[in-house]
Amino acid sequence: MRLVKLLANLGYGSRKEMQAAIRNGWVTDKDGNPIKADSKLAHEDILFDDEPLDPPEGSVILLNKPLGYTCSMKDRGRLVFDLLPARYRVRKPALSFVGRLDKDTTGLLLFTDDGKLLHQIISPKADVAKVYEVELDRPMTGGEADQFASGEMMLENDTSPLKPAELEVLSETTARLTLHEGRYHQVRRMFAATGNHVTKLHRAQLGGLTLDGVEEGQWKLLGTADIDRIFGDSA
């Protein structure tokens, strides 16, 4: 890909602006030498304004989403994209969410522009488990684990029963819930069906991938080993 198009696709500016940036010497190699528009340097060897280029096309980003940020442009308030560099919002191809988290849910959220990988992760065939930490408004009754694991639980307005889910009770009002599908507001609706209300919800794990080392509001670029963990066993 030509350098001008690469920089524009990464969101640094328009093609015209990137042509000017190259002429002005703002795009260099690692030794600080200006490079030309027809440069054949590898992505990782190019600097823009003395900083390494943003992740290339096909990357996966993990964000530890804080409370109060939304994934939907239709919702009012702060967007999860506000936690990334502003240019990430205009990258081509666009970064997409790998399963959304609502405004009141925190935790592990992935972005990628790799459509094939995105569909591989969310495909029912992949059976990528999602682990949630839950706090409830009132004590559980004791029958929730069997109900969630039955494979027969129906939620209001759904036309098919839920897949079996594993509930680990931590206290009267806290638990870890592992899902093998991703229906709309599923965790909240499951507990609502038992007569309870979720007061805090945190996605802690996706497959074998966790938030270890990523503080709330921070993000990191995933390497191949990290991505492989998505399809590994849950811890």
Whether 173 maps to a domain, the answer reads yes
Strand partners, 61: 111, 221
pLDDT in tens, 107-135: 999 999 999 999 999 999 999 999 999 99
pLDDT in tens, 12-41: 999 999 999 999 999 999 999 999 999 889
Instruction: Identify whether residues 135 and 193 lie together within a single domain.
Output: yes
**What mean pLDDT do residues 46-50 have?**
96
Whether 93 maps to a domain, the answer reads yes
* pLDDT at residue 1, as a whole number: 75
Instruction: Identify whether residues 194 and 137 lie together within a single domain.
Output: yes
Q: pLDDT class for 233, splitting at 50, 70, 90? A: low
Instruction: Identify whether residues 14 and 24 lie together within a single domain.
Output: yes
Contact assessment for residue 72 and residue 22, using Cβ atoms and an 8 Å cutoff: no
pLDDT in tens, 129-165: 999 999 999 999 999 999 999 999 999 999 999 999 9
Q: Annotated catalytic, 102?
A: yes
Statement: residue 54 has pLDDT above 80: yes
Whether 212 maps to a domain, the answer reads yes
Torsion sign, CA atoms 221, 176, 66, 74: positive
Count the domains in the chain: 3
**135 to 104, 140, 170, 197, 223: CA distances (angstroms):** 12, 10, 10, 9, 32
**What mean pLDDT do residues 85-107 have?**
94
Whether 68 maps to a domain, the answer reads yes
Q: What percent of the chain has pLDDT over 70?
A: 99
* pLDDT at residue 139, as a whole number: 98
**Residue whose token pair is 């399963």:** 99
Whether 13 maps to a domain, the answer reads yes
pLDDT in tens, 201-215: 999 999 999 999 999
Q: Which of 102, 113, 137, 158 is catalytic?
A: 102
Statement: residue 234 has pLDDT above 80: no
Q: pLDDT class for 235, splitting at 50, 70, 90? A: very low
Q: pLDDT class for 74, splitting at 50, 70, 90? A: confident
* pLDDT at residue 98, as a whole number: 93
Determine if the peptide bond prior to 93 is cis (ω within 30°): yes
DSSP state, residue 78:
E
Instruction: Identify whether residues 202 and 134 lie together within a single domain.
Output: yes
Instruction: Identify whether residues 47 and 162 lie together within a single domain.
Output: no
* pLDDT at residue 76, as a whole number: 74
Distance, in Å, from the CA atom of 68 to the CA atom of 18, rounded to the nearest integer, reads 35
**What mean pLDDT do residues 211-228 have?**
96
Instruction: Identify whether residues 70 and 40 lie together within a single domain.
Output: no
User: What CATH number is attached to the domain comprising 197?
Assistant: 3.30.70.1560
Query: Which domain, by its residues, includes 90?
Result: 60-124+208-230
